[in-house]
Amino acid sequence: MSELIRKTAVELAQLIASGEVSSEEVTRAHLERINEVDGDVHAFLYVDETNALEAAREVDKNIQAGNLQSPLAGVPLALKDVLTMKDVPTTCGSKILEGWKPQYDSTVVTRLRNAGVIILGKTNMDEFAMGSSTEYSAYGPTRNPWDLTRIPGGSGGGSAASLAAFEAPLAIGTDTGGSIRQPAAVTGTVGVKPTYGGVSRYGLVALASSLDQAGPCTRSVMDAALLHQLIAGYDPMDSTSINSPVPDVVAAAKNQSIKGMKIGLVKQLGGEGYQAGVRERFDEVVALLGSLGAEVIEISCPSFEYALAAYYLILPSECSSNLAKFDGMRYGLRVGDDGKHSVEEVMSLSRAAGFGPEVKRRIMLGTFALSSGYYDAYYGSAQKVRTLIAKDFTDAFSQVDVLISPTAPTTAFKIGDKVDDPLAMYLNDVATIPVNLAGNCAMSIPIGLAKEDNLPVGLQIMAPVMADDRLYFLGAVIEAALEAQWGHRFIEKVPS
Ligand code: GLN
């Protein structure tokens, strides 16, 4: 096993830029690692070996010619299979898109390519990003590298697992209700949901357009900052893209003093329902923050109690509409096209065969919630709750700089434990969803292992809209303080 795979993206980028190793060597080391472990982990749905190596040689040539494309030039990355990449299969974890090759790059991919980042392949996910365990992928589950009998979180379990298994030093996820942060928490990695509109959604296959946001997944806060900076910023191709400067997240990630910083502990995101070992690690960090000179106070966000209920009406409503285009006519799977069936029958047969049970459940829920006579009672009420949640955040941020909570109520559960119980599955998102509904930003960082099961625990930092730099400011300080206590990087404890 090459030593290269254990390095952070920052370290790799420096080695590549200085010419000590080539991007091709680094890329090969990761492809070898994928070959070695992905049979067990199943983080990838597609490995793009030929193009990755070709791109790496291109970067090497550029560096030799004195043209360093970006601070992450030559570093490999794993891409969630919900973002389009020209001529590379994009399935969104669904049978209905099997065989579809997009004709265009998503903006995230364009920016990565321009920066000389090497895309290794596409990672596994819950079908159309619906789920919290990656068990709803039509292509089989991804396994958590900390314990292969457990889930890696979802929907971006493939991206998170690829980091924890050292198959890639960088990954991209998408977070509609927690799909970057919850997988980060249960795999001991770092995940950031940027402010809504901060990263372009062009070429991101929509789940719920008013909530979806792509963001960085890494093994360190600084790696996330560098990746964030590469992919963020205004894009005229996305009508909800924010046209203002990206907060300087890299400067913020430089481990500075948090003396005098005001940190709010969200009363509603803790206590009952949270695993004891999760609470214990969280409480230790709260004490640590006090000793580092921050002022920690409890903040009440009363409407957060209704966030889960509101989200599971708004998301199905939007997805029932977004997924209407997958009908066997334009993309992927087509069933019953034998001259004996009408167009409507082919559409219905294709959708019946192409979508899995969770997707169908949400399409039915959403169609119902939007139907006349029920619209006001369900969708309309949920939207009102959404406004109240945004107001809770505004009130909170008038008192404190950031809010914190555990990222997920439990550590990684066993594969199979919740797959047949949608409500139990939905409860994993209880702490992550408020941020998606309000459109602000949040980060999950590893804070240790829970004592009951020796599995990673994540802490969530939440900041106001377009104050993404605050996430990195606090995240870097907590990371440095904990690593000083442990005497090693957290991720080094993952069993290889
Ligand atoms: N668990 C959430 C859901 O199932 C996560 C969605 C997401 O962030 N893509 O809806």
Q: pLDDT tens for residues 372-383?
A: 898 999 999 999
441 belongs to a structural domain = yes
329 belongs to a structural domain = no
Q: Whose CA is nearest to atom 4 of ligand 1?
A: 131
E-assigned strand segments in 89-213: 118-123, 170-174, 190-193
114 belongs to a structural domain = yes
Please provide the average confidence, as pLDDT, over all residues in the chain. 97
E-assigned strand segments in 236-382: 262-266, 295-299
> Residue 331: which pLDDT band, with cuts at 50, 70 and 90?
confident
CA distances from 452 to 85, 150, 458 (A): 42, 15, 15
Give pLDDT, residue 83: 98
205 belongs to a structural domain = yes
Q: What are the structure tokens assigned to 187, written together? A: 């795999």
State yes or no: pLDDT of 496 exceeds 80. no
Q: What are the structure tokens assigned to 306, written together? A: 């209704």
pTM check: above 0.95:
yes
pLDDT tens digits along 220-259: 999 999 999 999 999 999 999 999 999 999 999 998 999 9
307 belongs to a structural domain = no
Ligand 1 pocket check for 315: Cβ under 6 Å? yes
Among 309, 439, 305, 322, smallest CA distance to 382 is for 309
Pocket perturbation via mutation, ligand 1, pick of 81, 83, 128, 130 by most ligand atoms within 8 A of CB: 130
Residue 433 CA to ligand 1 centre (angstroms): 9
Mean pLDDT (whole number) for 186-211: 98
9 belongs to a structural domain = yes
344 belongs to a structural domain = no
Per the DSSP assignment, residues forming a β-bridge with 366 are: none
Where in the sequence is the domain holding 119, given as residue range(s)? 3-264+398-493
Ligand 1 pocket check for 157: Cβ under 6 Å? no
Ligand 1 pocket check for 129: Cβ under 6 Å? yes
Give the domain CATH number at 168.
3.90.1300.10
State yes or no: pLDDT of 488 exceeds 80. yes
Ligand 1 pocket check for 131: Cβ under 6 Å? yes
CA distances from 411 to 152, 178, 211, 274, 449 (A): 10, 15, 25, 10, 9
Domain count, the chain: 1
Pocket perturbation via mutation, ligand 1, pick of 92, 94, 126, 320 by most ligand atoms within 8 A of CB: 126
Q: Whose CA is nearest to atom 5 of ligand 1?
A: 177
**Coil, strand or helix at 204:** strand
Is residue 333 within 8 Å of 96, Cβ to Cβ? Answer: yes
Give pLDDT, residue 455: 98
For residues 474 and 348, give the distance between their C-alpha atoms in angstroms, rounded to a whole number: 50
Q: Which atom of ligand 1 is nearest to the CA of 315?
A: 10
pLDDT tens digits along 398-448: 999 999 999 999 999 999 999 999 999 999 999 999 999 999 999 999 999
State yes or no: pLDDT of 1 exceeds 80. no
> Residue 311: which pLDDT band, with cuts at 50, 70 and 90?
very high
Is residue 44 within 8 Å of 167, Cβ to Cβ? Answer: yes
pLDDT tens digits along 82-111: 999 999 999 999 999 998 999 999 999 999
Could you tell me how many residues make up the chain?
496
Residue 38 CA to ligand 1 centre (angstroms): 24
Q: What are the structure tokens assigned to 132, written together? A: 């919290």
Q: At what angle do helices 276-291 and 468-486 cross, to 10 degrees?
A: 100
Give pLDDT, residue 271: 83
The one-letter amino acid code at 321 reads S
143 belongs to a structural domain = yes
State yes or no: pLDDT of 358 exceeds 80. yes
Report the helix count and the strand count for the chain, using DSSP H and E: 16, 11
For residues 464 and 442, give the distance between their C-alpha atoms in angstroms, rounded to a whole number: 9
Residue 207 CA to ligand 1 centre (angstroms): 9
